[in-house]
Amino acid sequence: MEAANAPGASARWTRRLLSCGLAAGPVFVTVFLLEGAIREGYRPSRHPVSSLALGPRGWIQAANFSVTGTLFLAGAAGLRQAGDRACSARAGQALIGAAGAGLIGAAVFTTDPVSGYPPGTPDALARPSRTGMAHTLAAVPVFAGLPAAALTCSWQSFRAGQHRFGLYSAATATTMLATAALAGAGFNQSPRLVNRAGLFQRASIVTGFGWLTVLSARALTRTPAARARRRGRVRRLPAAQPEND
């Protein structure tokens, strides 16, 4: 009986792990949108999401980083077990996991003040702190690793003949990299971009994290158990009855 139940238990774990990947983006975005809307002195269009981890309420965003990073790691593990050809390469799964580790690192190492937040701080520090530099390094697997994962899945999708998802993944990588670069220029006080840097960063996050949600939802429908259920429904369909003249 234990041997017979093992495949079913494994399938349930895979679905739970993929559900974590499905939830990661919506959880992260919902928290930073709500927190950014009520934080005094904080301007979402100008300030980075990471700045929400500063100040007395900073623990909320720090927890958001940690929870979302854990969900990313679980989602990456689920993708490894799911068997979806769009993300069958271990490199893509590892890059998603690395993004999760980067989010957890961002919770441990808080960012430096930037663009005048928290209120009373300069637009840019004369010299970044060690904690701030560590936070910047932790962001690399998120804003560079996630687009790399999308490009890997794009290549796998084209090889599998799944051109639509391949194009979507390639567009995700391109959009996320471009908007992250614009956000970085704004946070470095580019006069034309500084007041829109937060919007560019949010566009990058929503694009990349939304891609993981779509990828996880897609993988949930392509697990061996899901395919077996679909085949079972097809077999149970009644045969067409001949029509009487």
Position 242 in a domain: no
Q: What is the pLDDT of residue 233?
A: 55
Q: Which two tokens stand for residue 104?
A: 């957890």
Q: What is the pLDDT of residue 245?
A: 38
Start-to-end Cα distance in the chain: 53
Q: What is the pLDDT of residue 11?
A: 85
Report whether the peptide linkage leading into residue 128 is cis, meaning its omega lies within 30 degrees of zero: no
Residue-wise pLDDT tens for the chain (245 aa)? 444 455 567 888 999 999 999 999 999 999 999 999 999 999 999 999 999 999 999 999 999 999 999 999 999 999 988 877 777 778 999 999 999 999 999 999 999 999 999 999 999 999 999 999 999 999 999 999 999 999 999 999 999 899 999 999 999 999 999 999 999 999 999 999 999 999 999 999 999 999 999 999 999 987 655 555 555 554 555 554 554 43
Q: Which domain holds residue 90?
A: 9-220
Position 234 in a domain: no
Q: What is the DSSP string of 76-97?
A: HHHHHHH--GGG-SHHHHHHHH
Q: Which two tokens stand for residue 142?
A: 């998120």
Q: What is the pLDDT of residue 241?
A: 53
Q: Which two tokens stand for residue 8?
A: 């079913």
Can you tell me the distance from the alpha carbon of 148 to that of 197, in angstroms, rounded to the nearest whole number? Answer: 22
Position 24 in a domain: yes
Position 235 in a domain: no
Position 162 in a domain: yes
Q: What is the DSSP string of the chain?
A: -HHHHHHHHHHHHHHHHHHHHHHHHHHHHHHHHHHHHHSTT--TTTS-GGGGGSSTTHHHHHHHHHHHHHHHHHHHHHHHHH--GGG-SHHHHHHHHHHHHHHHHHHHSPPPPBTTBSTTS-SS-SS--HHHHHHHHHHHIIIIIHHHHHHHHHHHHHHTT-HHHHHHHHHHHHHHHHHHHHHHHHHTT-TTTGGGHHHHHHHHHHHHHHHHHHHHHHHHTSSHHHHHHHHHHHHHSPPPPPPP-
Total of domains in the chain: 1
Position 49 in a domain: yes
Q: What is the pLDDT of residue 89?
A: 79
pTM over 0.75: yes
Position 2 in a domain: no
Can you tell me the distance from the alpha carbon of 243 to that of 133, in angstroms, rounded to the nearest whole number? Answer: 75
Can you tell me the distance from the alpha carbon of 80 to that of 91, in angstroms, rounded to the nearest whole number? Answer: 10
Position 202 in a domain: yes
